[in-house]
A and B are shown apart, each in its own frame.
Chain A
Amino acid sequence: MIELRHLTKTYHTKGKTITAVHDVSFTINRGEIFGIVGYSGAGKSSLLRCLNMLEKPTSGQVLIDQTDLTKLSGDQLRQVRQSIGMIFQHFNLMANRTVAGNIAYAMEVAGKGKEEIAARIQELLDLVGLSDKANAFPSELSGGQKQRVGIARALANSPKVLLCDEATSALDPMTTSSILELLREINRKLGLTIVLITHEMHVVKEICHRVAIMANGHVLEEGDVYQIFAKPRQQLTKQFVRTVIDVQLPDHLLEPKAESELVRISLLAEQAEKPMFEKLIRSFQVQANILHGKIEYIQGRPLAVFILELTGEQQERLKALAYLQQETAETEVIPYANHQ
Chain B
Amino acid sequence: MQIINDIIAVIPDLNKAFFETFYMLSISVFLSALLGIPLGILLYTSQHDLLGEKPWLNRIIGFVVNVIRSTPFVILLVALIPFTSWIAGTIVGPKAAVVPLTVAAIPFYARLVEGSLKEINRGVIEAALAMGSTLWHIIYKVLLVEARSGLIIGLTVTTISLLGFSAMAGIVGGGGIGDLAIRFGYYRFDNTIMFTTLVILIVIVQLIQAIGDRLAKKLDKR
Given contacts A81-B129, A109-B141, 10 further A-B contacts (CB under 8 A): A54-B129, A81-B130, A81-B132, A91-B123, A92-B124, A93-B124, A94-B146, A95-B222, A138-B221, A139-B221
Most buried by B among A77, A97, A138: A97
A86 on interface, CB distance cutoff 8 Å: yes
A92–B130 Cα distance when bound, in Å, is 11
Q: List the A residue with the shortest CB-CB distance to B124.
A: A92
B130 & A86 in contact (Cβ 8 Å cutoff)? yes
Asked if A180 lies at the interface with its beta carbon under 8 angstroms from chain B, I say no
Give Cα distance in the complex from A96 to B128, angstroms: 14
Q: Given A105-B141, A108-B141 in contact, is the A96-B220 Cβ separation under 8 Å?
A: yes
> In the docked arrangement, what's the CA distance between A110 and B128, Å?
12
Within B199-222, which residues are at the interface with A (CB < 8 Å)?
219-222
B148 within 8 A of A: yes
Mask for B120-140, Cβ within 8 A of A = 1, else 0? 010110111111111001000
CA distance A90 to B220 in the complex (A): 20
By the criterion CB–CB under 8 Å, are A92 and B123 in contact? yes
Interface readout for B126-164 with A: 1 if CB under 8 Å, 0 if not?
Answer: 111111111001000110011011000000000000000
Instruction: Find out whether the CB atom of B130 lies under 8 angstroms from the CB atom of A84.
Output: yes
Q: Contact: A137 with B132, CB < 8 Å?
A: no
* Chain A residues with CB under 8 A of B148: 96
| Contact-residue size bin, chain B (C-beta under 8 Å from the other chain) | 20 to 34
CB closest residue in chain B, given A78: B132
Query: Counting CB contacts under 8 A, is A266 at the interface?
Result: no
Known A94-B146, A96-B145, A109-B137; contact A54-B130, beta-carbon cutoff 8 A: yes
Report chain B residues within 8 Å CB of A54. Answer: 126, 129-130
Majority secondary structure of chain B interface residues (helix, strand, loop or mixed): helix
Contact residues in A for B133 (Cβ distance below 8 Å):
78, 109
Q: Mark A156-188, 1 if CB is under 8 A from B, else 0.
A: 010000010000000000000000000000000
- CB of B221 within 8 A of CB of A96, answer yes
A52 touching B220 by the CB < 8 A rule? Answer: no
- Give complex CA distance A94, B120 in Å: 9
Give 20 CB contacts A-B under 8 Å. Answer: A78-B134, A79-B132, A81-B131, A88-B127, A90-B123, A92-B123, A92-B124, A94-B124, A94-B145, A94-B146, A96-B148, A96-B220, A96-B221, A105-B128, A105-B131, A108-B141, A110-B131, A139-B221, A139-B222, A157-B131
> How many angstroms between the C-alpha atoms of A94 and B137 in the bound complex?
13
* A82 adjacent to B131 (CB under 8 Å): yes
Q: Which chain B residues border A92 with CB–CB below 8 Å?
A: 121, 123-124, 126-127
Whether B137 contacts A108 by the Cβ 8 Å rule is yes
Q: How far is the CA of A101 from the CA of B132 in the complex (A)?
A: 17
Closest to B149 in A: A96
In the bound complex, residues from chain B placing their C-beta under 8 Å from that of A163 are: 130
A85-132: which have CB < 8 Å to B?
Answer: 86, 88, 90-97, 105-106, 108-110
A88, A96, A108: the one within 8 Å of B222 (CB): A96
A78 to B219: give the CA distance in the assembly, Å. Answer: 30
